[in-house]
């Protein structure tokens, strides 16, 4: 089942708002859609960022496939 662009954009906006709230110190943020409710706490920042990247990829805002990582020496 394909998700329409408007739904993906709404989810992306909600996820970005949740990340912002998390970054400014709100202890728990909630993203809800299609009867699903997900809570993100301070320890979930990485998971929330991955979710945002996934949504952006589905919207064509990021290249598909594996993201490159910086080389650290």
Q: What is the pLDDT of residues 44-62, one digit of tens each?
A: 888 889 999 999 999 998 7
Predicted local confidence at residue 54, as pLDDT: 92
Q: Is-above-0.75 flag for pTM? A: no
Backbone angles phi and psi of 63, in degrees to 5? -65, 145
Q: Where do the domains of the chain lie, and which CATH numbers do they carry?
A: 5-58 (3.30.1580.10)
SS3 content of the chain, % helix, strand, coil (to 5): 50, 15, 35
DSSP H or E segment with residue 6: helix 5-23
Predicted local confidence at residue 8, as pLDDT: 93
């Amino acid at each position: 089942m394909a998700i329409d662009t408007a739904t993906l954009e709404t989810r992306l906006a909600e996820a970005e708002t949740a990340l912002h709230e998390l970054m400014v110190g709100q202890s728990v943020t909630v993203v809800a859609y299609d009867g699903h409710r997900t809570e993100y706490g301070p320890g979930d920042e990485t998971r929330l960022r991955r979710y945002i990247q996934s949504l952006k990829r589905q919207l064509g805002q990021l290249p598909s496939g594996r993201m490159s990582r910086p080389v650290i020496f």
